[in-house]
């Protein structure tokens, strides 16, 4: 049974083969449907099982031909049409197209004239000087291909946002301070605050773009310059990124575009994306008889000349700000985190967009660890750091005894910690701060769904978080049952990192999230949005389901050191991508009100 990713890859390769053959329009149809399928929530397989060919054609971009292709793939595991194309040009398209500067047309010529089928062949030919001699290629192309090969070998492609953000901000500040730069913004998936990002898109306003460009391609982090023009430059940056990895050492690509002030909003919008969101906006503009580009929204007047045909006069009608642009198109402003074509255009037209939780809206943090278990700092140090980060309260949630490697707390040590926290709060009170340390736990959920600490001690805590740290491989049924039983414990207030995933490291465990969300609603259990950059667990799609179901959530740092409170912004970003408002998140409230929302 082919997975969505496998189906998407085959369809996308068909698109590239058609492109190679010079076929018009079909390539884009295949590329587009491949993108849709690779980001589909439901398995295409299941859709087919449920409703056959007809259900397949209800997937956007799937018509009769592609539906037939998919059916053949599901039924036979093969696709004759694809195999025929592949036979004509039997190359490793997937890898070769990852080489910067190589597209279908060039790959075809390299195969026809030099017999190049894969990365190895390509490297050999380039080193042997064969590519430079090919008509239309030249020495420079050969050199670029070799550099491209190096990167493909080293890089996995995407970076975890929270790990690269600190370095990106340093570069951003340096460029912003540059003389001649009036405004500057990081756009693209970074502005949309995606979980992972592939590159850095930077937009600037300047009336002297040349010195800005020259500065940019010469900053010390630049290891390679792909393009250096008057309004657009592209480079590869070597930035630390944390944790240090092979990936980070390969560097990350950054583009800088400079536009005039009257185009800033349109450019900001265009370079922020998502691509699909932009395409949809341009179509709306066309329906109104206008044209939208990164330079603005234009009305078009056509004048018929006597013999010379038609002349077009374009008049800018919006583009200085994004707000103006959306308004002119008949819509409310859409926050960057929502620009993913998941219904934001419809909501915007109907003036029904939610007012998203803001980046300064958190008043507390409900999951923090200390040196009582696997954290690095004392309770007091964590409290002081949280206060500095602008919070009014934190919950200390050290691990429990089942997690032996962290010296998890048993009932006796937890009782000691409770006393310690009482003392500290007294001291804070004396020093006349309103900051409050709450007593809590990150209590392990055992195999059978019971909790790692007895009810007698849980009863004494302000906040009980429960979470899974073992037996990730249980069947979906067993895992779901286990977690639901824990949620039904009258003391279990919050389910921490509900799916257990680690981005780029560990898949989520098999769990029926629909069922978990229903149980949360039933039992009044809070679901956590864990802000730690490689967790971001819940995912945006589940956050949105919680919002729609009226299930409350918390945003927690899972801080293991004082510096970690900085990650809360990524949790807020995640919540915003799930369309959550301030009222959906319990720790936007002052401590007394927050506590009232718990069991």
Partner DNA sequence: GCCGTTTTCGGCCCGACTGTTTTCAGTCG
The only residue of 3, 39, 65, 433 in contact with DNA, by rule CB under 7 A: 65
Q: To the nearest 10°, report the CA torsion of 458, 487, 364, 452.
A: 40
Task: Give CA separation, 344 vs 117, 318, 333, 340, 519, in Å.
Answer: 43, 21, 10, 8, 28
Q: How far is the CB of 252 from DNA (least distance, A)?
A: 11
294 binds DNA (CB under 7 A): yes
Q: Does 103 contact DNA by CB under 7 A?
A: yes
Phi, psi of 157 (to 5 degrees): 105, -65
Please pick, from the candidates 102, 334, 385, 386, the single residue that binds DNA as defined by CB under 7 A: 102
Compute the distance between CA of residue 145 and CA of residue 129 in angstroms, rounded to an integer.
12
Tell me the CA end-to-end span of the chain in Å, nearest whole number: 44
d(CA 72, CA 546): 37
Tell me the window of 97-105, 507-515, 518-526, 537-545 that interacts with DNA (CB under 7 A). 97-105
How many CB atoms sit inside 10 A of residue 23's CB? 12
Which of 273, 440 has the CB closer to DNA?
273
By CB under 7 A, name the one of 30, 159, 509, 570 that touches DNA.
Answer: 30
The 10 Å CB-count burial string (b at 16+, else e) for 149-172 is: bebbeebeebbbbbbbbebbeebb
Q: Which of 169, 275, 313, 419 binds DNA (CB under 7 A)?
A: 275
Q: Which x/- pattern over 139-178 shows residues binding DNA (rule: CB under 7 A)?
A: xxxx-x----------------------------------
Q: Based on CB atoms, which residue is closest to DNA, 30 or 48?
A: 30
Stretch that binds DNA, among 99-107, 356-364, 451-459, 468-476 (CB under 7 A): 99-107
| 282 makes contact with DNA (CB under 7 A) | yes
Minimum distance of DNA from residue 59's CB (angstroms): 7
> CA 132, 138, 141: angle at the middle one, nearest 5?
85
Q: Which residues contact 537 (CB under 8 A, 6 or more apart)?
A: 497, 498, 499, 500, 501, 508, 528, 529, 530
106: left (phi over 0), alpha (psi -120 to 50) or beta: alpha
Residues in region 186-225 near DNA by CB under 7 A: 188, 199, 201
Tell me which stretch binds DNA (CB under 7 A): 273-281, 444-452, 477-485, 576-584: 273-281
Picking from 162, 157, 155, 173, the residue whose alpha carbon sits closest to that of residue 195 is: 162
Helices (H), 155-208: 161-176, 188-191
- Please choose, out of 128-136, 347-355, 542-550, 558-566, the segment that lies near DNA by the rule CB under 7 A: 128-136
Q: Nearer to DNA by C-beta: 105 or 521?
A: 105
Number of residues that bind DNA (CB under 7 A): 62
| CB of 54 vs DNA, minimal distance in Å | 12
Binding to DNA by CB under 7 A, coded x per residue (else -) over 241-270, reads ------------x-x---------------
Answer yes or no whether residue 29 interacts with DNA by CB under 7 A: yes
**Measured distance CA(423)–CA(20) in Å, rounded:** 73
- Smallest distance from DNA to CB 578, Å: 25
- Reduce the DSSP state of residue 299 to 3 states and report it: strand
Cα-based angle 483, 485, 490 (whole degrees, multiple of 5):
115
Among 136, 305, 309, 550, binds DNA (CB under 7 A): 136
The verdict on 137 binding DNA (CB under 7 A) reads yes
Q: Can you tell me the distance from the alpha carbon of 208 to that of 211, in angstroms, rounded to the nearest whole number?
A: 7
Kind and range of the H or E run holding 150: helix 138-154
Binding flag, residue 369, DNA (CB under 7 A): no
Tokens 């007809």 correspond to: 54
For residue 63, state whether it binds DNA (rule: CB under 7 A).
yes
Tell the smallest beta-carbon distance from residue 520 to DNA (Å): 35
Contacting residues toward DNA, per CB under 7 A? 19, 24-26, 28-30, 33, 57, 60-67, 97, 99-107, 132, 135-142, 144, 188, 199, 201, 226-232, 253, 255, 275, 278-279, 282-283, 286-287, 289, 291-295
């Amino acid at each position: 049974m082919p997975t969505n990713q496998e189906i998407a890859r085959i369809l996308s390769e068909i698109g590239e083969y058609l492109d190679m053959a010079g076929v018009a329009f079909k390539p884009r149809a295949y590329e587009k449907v491949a993108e849709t399928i690779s980001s589909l929530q439901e398995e295409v397989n299941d859709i087919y099982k449920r409703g056959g060919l007809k259900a397949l054609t209800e997937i956007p971009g799937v018509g009769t031909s592609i539906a037939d292709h998919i059916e053949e793939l599901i039924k036979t595991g093969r696709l004759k049409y694809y195999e025929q194309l592949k036979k004509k040009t039997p190359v490793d398209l997937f890898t070769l197209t990852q080489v910067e500067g190589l597209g279908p047309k060039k790959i075809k010529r390299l195969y026809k004239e030099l017999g190049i089928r894969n990365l190895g062949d390509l490297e050999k030919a380039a080193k042997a000087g064969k590519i430079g001699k090919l008509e239309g290629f030249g020495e420079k192309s050969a050199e670029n291909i070799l550099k491209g090969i190096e990167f493909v070998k080293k890089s996995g492609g995407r970076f975890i946002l929270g790990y690269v953000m600190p370095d990106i901000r340093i570069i951003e500040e340096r460029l912003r301070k540059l003389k001649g730069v009036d405004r500057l913004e990081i756009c693209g998936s970074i502005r949309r605050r995606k979980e992972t990002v592939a590159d850095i898109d930077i937009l600037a306003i300047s009336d002297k773009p040349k010195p800005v460009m020259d500065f940019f391609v010469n900053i010390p982090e630049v290891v390679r310059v792909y393009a250096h023009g008057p309004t657009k430059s592209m480079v590869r940056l070597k930035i630390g990124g944390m944790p240090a990895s092979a990936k980070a050492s390969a560097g990350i690509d950054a583009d800088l575009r400079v536009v005039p002030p009257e185009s800033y909003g349109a450019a900001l919008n265009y370079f922020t994306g998502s691509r699909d969101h932009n395409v949809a906006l341009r179509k709306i503009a066309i329906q109104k008889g206008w044209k939208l580009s990164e330079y603005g929204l234009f009305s078009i007047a056509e004048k018929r000349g006597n013999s010379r045909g038609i002349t077009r006069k374009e008049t800018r009608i919006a583009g200085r700000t994004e707000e103006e642009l959306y308004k002119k198109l008949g819509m409310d402003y859409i926050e960057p985190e929502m620009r993913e074509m998941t219904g934001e255009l419809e909501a915007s037209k109907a003036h029904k967009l939610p007012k998203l939780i803001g980046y300064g809206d958190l008043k507390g943090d409900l999951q923090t660890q200390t040196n009582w278990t696997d954290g690095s700092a004392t309770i007091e140090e964590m409290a002081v750091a949280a206060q500095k980060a602008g919070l009014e309260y934190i919950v200390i949630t050290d691990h429990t005894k089942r997690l032996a490697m962290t010296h998890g707390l048993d009932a006796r040590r937890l009782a000691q910690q409770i006393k310690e926290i009482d003392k500290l709060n007294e001291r804070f009170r004396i020093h006349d701060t309103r900051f409050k340390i709450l007593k809590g736990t990150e209590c392990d959920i055992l195999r059978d769904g019971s909790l790692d600490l007895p009810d007698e001690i849980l009863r004494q805590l302000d906040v009980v978080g429960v979470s899974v740290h073992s037996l990730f491989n249980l069947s979906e049924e067993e895992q779901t049952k286990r977690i639901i039983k824990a949620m039904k414990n009258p003391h279990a207030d919050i389910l921490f990192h509900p799916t257990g995933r680690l981005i780029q490291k560990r898949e989520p465990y098999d769990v029926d999230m629909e069922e978990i969300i229903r149980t949360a609603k039933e039992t009044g259990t809070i679901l956590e949005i864990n802000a730690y950059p490689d967790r971001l667990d819940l995912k945006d799609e589940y956050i949105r389901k919680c919002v729609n179901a009226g299930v409350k959530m918390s945003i927690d740092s899972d801080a293991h050191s004082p510096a970690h409170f900085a990650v809360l912004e990524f949790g807020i970003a995640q919540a915003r991508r799930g369309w959550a408002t301030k009222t959906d998140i319990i720790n936007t409230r002052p401590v007394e009100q927050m506590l009232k929302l718990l069991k």
